[in-house]
Structure 1
Amino acid sequence: MPRLLHYSDLENVYDDPERAGRLAGCVTALDGDDTLVVGTGDNSAPGVLSLVERGGQVLDFYRAVDADLETFGNHEFDYGPIRLRELVSESRPTWVSCNIRDEDGERFAATEGTVPWTTRDIDGVTLGFFGVTDPATGSINPEAVDVTFDDPYVEATAAATALRDDGADYVVALSHLGSGDDELARRCDVDLILGGHVHAERDDVVEGVPIVRPGANGHVVWEVRIDDDRVETVRHKTGEYRPDEAFVRALNGRVDAAGLDEVLCRIDRPMDRSEGTVAAGECRVGNAIADAYRWATGADVGLQNSGGVRSGPPIGPDVTHADLVSLVPFEEQLVVAEVTGTELLAVFNAARGATMGFGEPDWWHAQISGARIVWDDEQNEVIEATVDGEAIDPDAYYTLATSDYILHTTQEFPAVTQSHRVGEYGIQHEVLAEYAREVGFDAAVEGRIERRSVRPAED
């Protein structure tokens, strides 16, 4: 009986070598001759080690688990397509991708071994695989340059047809489409979708097609068993497995070499940075980041997108340089944009992230400083907004400190664009480090965001 071991969105798991080691230990314990080890993107970035190694730490993981197949997530492009081609050529798994092209119109990284689809014979069963990536990647990742993303459903349909023609008994989509997996199930002739991009776990069936998603940061591996016309899924918690000690040592060596263990300040009470806290509304760590942006720039308002705050262990009581890099592990500039009051209100009205492809229904998307928002969840809009205690004047101008990414992407706060840029103030995590040295890095929940008809925010 063929089995698939599915991981995805490992992102910053490597910054916790023990947890990463247990992930690898889980995969190797479950692996066997009838098994393929497959990933569905965002497994090389972001994270502290990823930033230092430019994604190279994933090669240790691929070797440790003897990975078989992988596809591209949006974060695979964090260090640009040239670096990604290097990682593809050096890595163990076969990369499958049918909807990404390079600047010449050819399949991305074909020279390095990427294929649009492939087959594997396991226990007399021919399994066909293709990979698809969110076509919005060019918008949500500024480093995804000189590549284009074709319609994933058109390309998936063509790949599935080619696989059937090649004798595939089962067609498996390795998908980094997030919420687009439902459409993939409805429109394409596939038997199974292994998904990623959205960080919530999933084990579901849409139009007769099983969809499995393991969530983020290496906490869960899904085992998928293909038995005649049945697909069975088994959830494995990686923390229950013995760590791969050799892999742990390799990662610890990389962590030590990074030299980011300097303590910048201390706080009395550690700050939760879990996705459940950051995406629920106002939180301490989001306030601290937005405060730092405003401190560094003198802007009227500081804005941090919740999706850009990476989850991990609580921050503190010792706050290290590595902690702050891990919060926003991107080589992106802190910028200031000048916007009208009308545009600022539009930014605030985009603060609930439910409409994004990688969002969730109750996901709150804006961490702010210098402003206050009252949001009506039933009407799905801002009903009150102030800056420095004063109602926003639609005709006045305001300065907004945020990441360069927010100006680049059209997926999150489309009212603010590159045309609004009026200044740059250094790399985000470097600004946070300077703020921690000079001011400290702590904040309270103080009513900057009031959401009605939802649970109370973290106190």
Structure 2
Amino acid sequence: MPRLLHYSDIENVYDDPVRAGRLAGLVRALDGDDALVCGTGDTTAPGVLSLIERGRQSLDFFAAVGADVDTFGNHDFDYGPAATRGIVADSPQTWVSANVRDEDGRQFPGTVPHVVREVDGTRVGLVGVTDPATPSLNPMAADLTFTDPYEAVETELEALRAAGVDHVVVLSHLGGGDDELARRVDVDAILGGHVHAERREYVDGTLLLRPGANGHVVFEVELGADDGADSRARATATRHETADAPVHEALSERLRGRVDDAGLDEVVAVVEEPMDRSEETVFGGECAVGNFVADAYRWSMDADVGLQNSGGIRNGPPLDGEVTIADLVSVIPFEERVVLAELTGEELRAVLRECAAATVDFGEPDWWQGHLSGVELVWDDDREAVVSARVGGSPIDPGATYSVATADYLLHSDHEFPTIDARHRAAEGRIQHEVLADYAREFGLDGGVDGRIRRVSGCAADD
């Protein structure tokens, strides 16, 4: 019976050599002649070491686990298509991508739309697809074309059926789009990613998986099995945690010290109260790390408002004790600048509404999408509406102009905070993590919250 070993969105795992070693050690322990090692995107970036090495640190991991197949995530283009082409050319696995086209509209170099592998005496066909919103999510991918993923899979399925495969698996970086894909095509399993919340369930008889982010979980999939819960089920999955896995010492040794060698070890502040940046905290509403980032942005641009999208704050260990530049890079590991946008009061109120997942098509339904500075916001979760909003202590004037310091990414993306776009650009500042370091040196990190965002239920909205 063929097996698939599935990891995805491992992102900053490289910044912790032991955690990376445990992930590789677990995959190696589970691997065998009857298994394929599969990634489903965001396996090269983002992270501190990734930023330093332009994603090429992933090549050590791919070699360590004996990677067989992978597809692209949106962050695999963080350093531009040329860097991605280099990684594809130098990595051991087959990159499978049915809907990514290069700058000339051709199949992305070094990739195939589908592949057939013989595993344990059976023929397994694999198709790869990536979120078509990637150019909006990642400006570095703006010159690429991402075609309709559902039509792409349907086309490749015809070829795979004609080739006489026994099983079909989709390697997907569509996030929430996996449900629609499962309803439209007849495949054994969709190995997913993009959304960092774990998932293991069946949709229309197809097994849908997401192992979460940063290398904490690997799914072991058996094709052709039936767990008895669904007579149509073609696959089952076992969840394995990496926390107690054996360490792949060779990989850990390869990664160890490379962040320190980059000269990012300057201590810029000391945190007395740990600043948590887990997914639950960052997407749960106001939090200390979100306040710190938004405050730093507003200060750096002398703006009325600071705004940071929750998804831009990367999960990792709490900021605690001595905080270095590397620690701050790990919070927002992107080479993007803080920019100043000018919005009307009416537009600013729209942006505040877009802080709630109810109005932004990204992530889980209860996620909070924005962190603010200079704003006092009361939001009603039941009504999905602003109860009150003040800037500088005064109600927002719809006709006035407000300056907002935020990440350059939000001016290009229509996926998060779509009200803000390039026409609002008024000025450009420094790289995000440089701004955080400057602010930390000047004011420190107090790790507190002050009630600037209040989520309530059942209040009458004033808009």
Taking structure 1 as the reference length, what is the TM-score of the superposition? 0.97
Match of 1:41 in 2: 41
Q: Please give the residue correspondences for 1:284-295 in structure 2 after superposition, counting only pairs within 5 Å.
A: 284-295=288-299
* SS, match of residue 79 in structure 1: coil
Q: Does 1:352 align with 2:356?
A: yes
* SS, match of residue 64 in structure 1: helix
Match of 2:166 in 1: 169
Instruction: State the one-letter code of the partner of 2:170.
Output: A
Whole-Å Cα distance in 2 between the matches of residues 356 and 11 of structure 1?
23
Instruction: State the one-letter code of the partner of 2:346.
Output: T
- Residue 353 of structure 1, CA deviation: 2.3
Instruction: State the one-letter code of the partner of 1:55.
Output: G
Whole-Å Cα distance in 1 between the matches of residues 16 and 303 of structure 2?
35
* SS, match of residue 256 in structure 2: helix
- Residue 268 of structure 1, CA deviation: 1.0
- Residue 74 of structure 1, CA deviation: 0.2
Match of 2:229 in 1: none
Match of 2:461 in 1: none
Say which is worse superposed, 94-103 or 251-260, in terms of deviation. Answer: 251-260
The answer to whether the 8 A contact 2:9-2:212 is kept is: yes
Whole-Å Cα distance in 2 between the matches of residues 318 and 281 of structure 1?
26
Match of 1:118 in 2: 115
Shift of the 228–286 alpha-carbon distance from structure 1 to 2, 3 Å rule, reads: closer
Match of 1:457 in 2: none
Whole-Å Cα distance in 1 between the matches of residues 145 and 62 of structure 2?
27
Instruction: State the one-letter code of the partner of 2:33.
Output: D
Instruction: State the one-letter code of the partner of 2:164.
Output: G
Q: Please give the residue correspondences for 1:203-352 in structure 2 after superposition, counting only pairs within 5 Å.
A: 203-227=200-224, 230-352=234-356
Q: Which runs of 5+ in 2 are unaligned?
A: 227-233, 459-463
Match of 2:377 in 1: 373
Whole-Å Cα distance in 2 between the matches of residues 43 and 362 of structure 1?
26
Match of 2:231 in 1: none
Match of 2:19 in 1: 19
Q: Does 1:4 align with 2:11?
A: no
Match of 1:384 in 2: 388
Shift of the 20–356 alpha-carbon distance from structure 1 to 2, 3 Å rule, reads: farther
- Residue 255 of structure 1, CA deviation: 2.1
Shift of the 5–83 alpha-carbon distance from structure 1 to 2, 3 Å rule, reads: same
Count residues with an aligned counterpart.
Answer: 451
Q: Please give the residue correspondences for 1:74-85 in structure 2 after superposition, counting only pairs within 5 Å.
A: 74-85=74-85
Match of 2:412 in 1: 408
Instruction: State the one-letter code of the partner of 2:311.
Output: G
Whole-Å Cα distance in 1 between the matches of residues 141 and 158 of structure 2?
29
Task: Give a deviation string over 1:134-174, Cα, whole Å, max 9, x none.
Answer: 00001110100321010000011001111111111111000
The answer to whether the 8 A contact 2:273-2:447 is kept is: no
Shift of the 127–356 alpha-carbon distance from structure 1 to 2, 3 Å rule, reads: farther
- Residue 228 of structure 1, CA deviation: 5.5
Whole-Å Cα distance in 2 between the matches of residues 411 and 301 of structure 1?
21
Q: Among all aligned residue pairs of Structure 1 and Structure 2, give the percentage whose two residues are the same amino acid.
A: 61
Match of 2:185 in 1: 188
* SS, match of residue 160 in structure 1: helix
Task: Give a deviation string over 1:361-382, Cα, whole Å, max 9, x none.
Answer: 1100110000011111111121
Match of 1:440 in 2: 444
- Residue 188 of structure 1, CA deviation: 1.5
Shift of the 135–403 alpha-carbon distance from structure 1 to 2, 3 Å rule, reads: same
- Residue 341 of structure 1, CA deviation: 0.1
The answer to whether the 8 A contact 2:357-2:363 is kept is: yes
Say which is worse superposed, 168-177 or 259-268, in terms of deviation. Answer: 259-268
The answer to whether the 8 A contact 1:81-1:145 is kept is: no
Say which is worse superposed, 274-283 or 219-228, in terms of deviation. Answer: 219-228
Instruction: State the one-letter code of the partner of 1:39.
Output: G
Q: Which runs of 5+ in 1 are unaligned?
A: 455-459
Whole-Å Cα distance in 1 between the matches of residues 91 and 413 of structure 2?
30
Shift of the 354–72 alpha-carbon distance from structure 1 to 2, 3 Å rule, reads: farther
The answer to whether the 8 A contact 2:311-2:369 is kept is: yes
The answer to whether the 8 A contact 2:338-2:432 is kept is: yes
Backbone CA RMSD of aligned residues:
1.2
Q: Does 1:135 align with 2:132?
A: yes
* SS, match of residue 317 in structure 1: strand
- Residue 453 of structure 1, CA deviation: 4.0
* SS, match of residue 378 in structure 2: strand
